[in-house]
Amino acid sequence: MNMNQDAYNRLISCGIRPSMQRLAIMDYLLTHHTHPTVEEVYQGICKDIRTLSRTTVYNTLRLLSEHNAARMITIDEHRVCYDGDVTPHVHFYCRNCGHVYDLFDEEAPYLAKSKQIEGHVIDEMQLYYKGVCKDCKSHLS
């Protein structure tokens, strides 16, 4: 199965009507595990879809996150990025280079299903660590 088919299947399974732009954006998230921003997604796709606008990218990413086809990651107030991997995992943000990494920390609590705590219904949880990544650490040493 090619990635474009994976993007199509993700949209359909999340109840989103596929369009050329939505497929391209979903495909970008599934093939680029870099936690891109709106601008990075736009720059990565605009060469192939000349009519694509930043507003379309922004609105589509918002739609994808609202339908659980992607995750919106807000680690700080200056940067919002997106992740096509919606399976439970944590993120690591390097304060030095700004890169966001996926971590599969077995000790970190994660939410596989909705749950209730003190009467509150929780359907999503985001957990992230902040620090210095191993690449920056080796350059700083």
pLDDT tens-place string over residues 31-83: 999 999 999 999 999 999 999 999 999 999 999 999 999 999 998 788 899 99
Which positions ≥6 away from 42 have C-beta within 8 Å?
52, 54, 57
Q: Which one-letter DSSP state was computed for residue 34?
A: S
Helix axes 38-45, 54-66, angle to 10 degrees: 120
The CA distance from 21 to 46, in Å, is: 10
Residue 1: the pLDDT is 44
pLDDT in tens, 1-19: 455 899 999 999 999 999 9
Residue 95: the pLDDT is 92
Residue 106: the pLDDT is 66
Residue 74 burial by Cβ neighbours in a 10 Å radius (0-12, 13-18, 19+): exposed
